[in-house]
Chains A and B, each alone.
Chain A
Amino acid sequence: MTTPLFAVECVRKCYGGLTAVCDVSLELAEGDLVGLIGPNGAGKTTCFNLITGADTCSAGRVLWEGRNVTSLPDFRRARLGLARTFQNIRLWADMTALDNVRAVCRGSEEAGWIDGLLRTPRHHRVERLVTGKSLALLARLGIERFADTRAGDLPYGPQRKLEIARALALEPRVLLLDEPAAGMNPAEKTDLMRMVEGLRRDLGLTILLIEHDMRFVMGICERIYVLDHGERIAHGTPAEIRRDPKVIAAYLGTESPC
């Protein structure tokens, strides 16, 4: 069995007396498109936080290509190739859309402080490279016309797309999407579904997404994990999940006798 690209094993997160995430295990193989669902408050975003390092695990491990990265700070995990978007948009509002992407973009070369201060040839080289890549990413998501607009002034849809573009600037291997379809109408959601599939196909990404829209999740995910009250209650294909009585109970409450 190939080593999964990344996995979390029995992670737990306790806030004082409340256990937000309890002994949850997930794994993703390269190229997977997996969904993470569950009722509100199930601990999905907390899981994301534990995976990305925004929060520290009270117990358990996070593994990247078999390596234990649990103690690695968030920015190092990101540099390994783990990118994410946020449930509430967290763009850098006072920067332009282009700058939002350029800030994350890294080339093989890095321009340091001296390069920036003195405008060395390296600075110009890196600027050209980074600007080119960033514009390409904006174009891929269809928002290149907003390149010089202040991110905070953008309409909601382009903002969500900018979040994705920014995450892609990391040239990640794994992309975590936190409710990417929130606030979109059905047409936009269909577009997004196609785009997510396209990203996986064209960029070879592995994707884990949190979503509430069942049509969205069932429509593109190959596998689905279900959380409820911090515990993993089910795992399987969309078809299996749809029929799983525990999942139904979690979303609809216990069945009535009649």
Chain B
Amino acid sequence: MDLPWLPLALTLGPTGLWWSHLLVTVGVYALLGLSLNLINGYGRMFSLGHHGFWALGAYAAALFTRSYEGELPGPVLLALSAFFGMGVAALGGLAIGIPCLRLKGDYLAVATLGFAEIVRISIQNLPEGLLGGNIGLSVPRVLMEVEPATRGTFLLAWCAILLACVAVVALLVRNVVRSARGRTLLAVAQDETAAGLLGINPTRAKVATFVLGSALAGLAGALYAHYQGTIAPQEFTFLEMVKMLLVVVLGGLGSISGCLVAAFLLIYIEQALQLAGQETLPLGVPPLPASWTWLAQWWSVVYALILVLLMVFRPRGIFGPRELPEVLRAWWRRRRPGEAAR
């Protein structure tokens, strides 16, 4: 796959490479966070199985690409593969949503967790010829081959793809929440019984939201699989679910901008810590003393601590249920008390 922008590869120094990889990772988690926000945030449903849809999307897309490799031009194959992944994930959402969404709170959490575990265990146990088992499944390169010379271009291309997808998905989520169906969902989320008694079909609203959320998680999975080049069931564990949850909760349940900011913060800190003590750092990474490398190793512990401290001291997250413009406006008003007298 020769693409005309090849010369760009030479201009991407270590800074560019590091940041591109970072932004791609942020993008994946932002997509996961946005989709989870629909279900857990706006919908106030308690899903702990989102990583299962992520996995479904990743594996479905991988299988699709492997089947049609070479028969379609690269970008087209990527797009179709992504749609296929979304579709499979959406079907998964439907399959698990219809029976389980009438379960209340904690029971739903357990059922969805069980579902995700079933997905992961199935991937592990199915014959290796089918899904690669524990070893993993390789995903053919559809955009370009990744050699040292083209690595920069590869990363930039994926950066662009992910950022575009995040922007589109954020817009879609915003659109949905401010639409008729969105209001229906919010009503069901805030008082399901009242909603039912006022003519809203709660199950239909919840299932539709769940399907939409799982489809978007599938999109994240498809993109992730194609970026990584290989996927293995160990990458779709409950720890990943906790990461997604942290993104959503840190950003504030029900806040799109909060989700994006939180995804960036968490991934940035995680990646920056891994460079602690190194001599040459990419621009924008603060020089951290080498003794801080223990933090990088204990990162999962730190995640857990952040989660606990967040819940104890600021369960609303950074932005609460509000969006960035509103937060800035409120902050501005507090700095100028005169204007506040309205």
Q: Which residues of A contact B (CB under 8 A)?
A: 52-54, 73-75, 78-79, 83-84, 86, 90-95, 99-100, 102-104, 106, 110-113, 115-119, 123, 126-127, 130, 166-167, 169-170
CB–CB B199/A92 < 8 A: no
List the A side residues contacting B208 at CB < 8 Å: 113
List the A side residues contacting B191 at CB < 8 Å: 90-92
Mask for B307-342, Cβ within 8 A of A = 1, else 0?
Answer: 000000000000001000000000000000000000
- Indicate whether A111 sits within 8 Å of B180 (C-beta atoms), given known contacts A75-B199, A170-B198: yes
CB–CB A90/B194 < 8 A: yes
Is B56 interfacial (CB-CB < 8 Å)?
no
Which of A75, A103, A110, A130 has the most CB atoms of chain B within a 10 A radius of its CB?
A103
CB–CB A123/B179 < 8 A: yes
List the B side residues contacting A90 at CB < 8 Å: 191, 193-194
Which residue of the partner chain B has the closest CB to A123?
A: B179
Q: A184 vs B194: C-alpha distance in the bound complex, in angstroms? A: 23
Q: A162 vs B161: C-alpha distance in the bound complex, in angstroms? A: 46
CB–CB A104/B198 < 8 A: yes
Partner of B197, one of A53, A100, A106, A113: A53
Given A78-B196, A90-B194, A104-B200, 13 additional A-B pairs, CB 8 A: A75-B196, A75-B200, A78-B198, A90-B191, A93-B190, A102-B180, A103-B183, A103-B195, A103-B198, A115-B180, A117-B172, A118-B175, A130-B180
List the A side residues contacting B195 at CB < 8 Å: 75, 92, 103
CB–CB A103/B186 < 8 A: yes
CB–CB A116/B175 < 8 A: yes
List, sorted by A's number, 9 A–B pairs whose CB atoms are closer than 8 Å: A78-B199, A83-B198, A95-B186, A103-B183, A104-B198, A110-B180, A115-B179, A169-B198, A170-B199
From residue B231, how far is it (CB to closest CB) to chain A in Å? 28
List the A side residues contacting B181 at CB < 8 Å: 111-113, 116
CB–CB A99/B193 < 8 A: no
Which residue of the partner chain B has the closest CB to A93?
A: B190
CB–CB B190/A113 < 8 A: no
CB–CB B175/A167 < 8 A: no
CB–CB A103/B200 < 8 A: yes
List the B side residues contacting A84 at CB < 8 Å: 197-198
Is B212 interfacial (CB-CB < 8 Å)?
yes
Which residue of the partner chain B has the closest CB to A104?
A: B198
CB–CB B176/A92 < 8 A: no
CB–CB A127/B194 < 8 A: no
Is B297 interfacial (CB-CB < 8 Å)?
no
CB–CB B179/A116 < 8 A: yes
List the A side residues contacting B184 at CB < 8 Å: 103
CB–CB A126/B180 < 8 A: yes
From residue A47, how far is it (CB to closest CB) to chain B in Å? 14
List the A side residues contacting B200 at CB < 8 Å: 75, 103-104
CB–CB B187/A92 < 8 A: yes
CB–CB A92/B186 < 8 A: yes
CB–CB B183/A79 < 8 A: no
Q: A123 vs B183: C-alpha distance in the bound complex, in angstroms? A: 13
From residue B97, how far is it (CB to closest CB) to chain A in Å? 14
From residue B98, how far is it (CB to closest CB) to chain A in Å? 16
Which of B181, B198, B200 has the most CB atoms of chain A within a 10 A radius of its CB?
B198
Q: A74 vs B199: C-alpha distance in the bound complex, in angstroms? A: 7
Q: A197 vs B200: C-alpha distance in the bound complex, in angstroms? A: 28
Q: A163 vs B184: C-alpha distance in the bound complex, in angstroms? A: 16
From residue A248, how far is it (CB to closest CB) to chain B in Å? 34
Is B182 interfacial (CB-CB < 8 Å)?
yes
Q: A212 vs B247: C-alpha distance in the bound complex, in angstroms? A: 50
From residue B193, how far is it (CB to closest CB) to chain A in Å? 7
List the B side residues contacting A54 at CB < 8 Å: 193, 196-197
Q: A118 vs B179: C-alpha distance in the bound complex, in angstroms? A: 10
Partner of B180, one of A83, A127, A170: A127
- Indicate whether A95 sits within 8 Å of B194 (C-beta atoms), given known contacts A78-B199, A104-B199, A118-B175: no
CB–CB A94/B198 < 8 A: no
Is B201 interfacial (CB-CB < 8 Å)?
yes
Which of A52, A111, A116, A127 has the most CB atoms of chain B within a 10 A radius of its CB?
A116
Q: A53 vs B197: C-alpha distance in the bound complex, in angstroms? A: 8
- Which residues of B256-305 are within 8 A (CB) of A? none
Which residue of the partner chain B has the closest CB to A166?
A: B198
CB–CB B212/A113 < 8 A: yes
CB–CB A75/B180 < 8 A: no
List the A side residues contacting B180 at CB < 8 Å: 102, 110-111, 115-116, 123, 126-127, 130
Which residue of the partner chain A has the closest CB to B202?
A: A75
Which residue of the partner chain A has the closest CB to B178?
A: A116
List the B side residues contacting A111 at CB < 8 Å: 179-181
List the B side residues contacting A94 at CB < 8 Å: 186, 190, 321
- Return the 6 tightest CB-CB contacts between A and B, nearest first: A116-B179, A78-B199, A103-B183, A90-B194, A92-B190, A103-B187
- Indicate whether A106 sits within 8 Å of B199 (C-beta atoms), given known contacts A117-B175, A127-B180: yes
From residue A94, how far is it (CB to closest CB) to chain B in Å? 6
Q: A110 vs B199: C-alpha distance in the bound complex, in angstroms? A: 13
List the A side residues contacting B202 at CB < 8 Å: 75
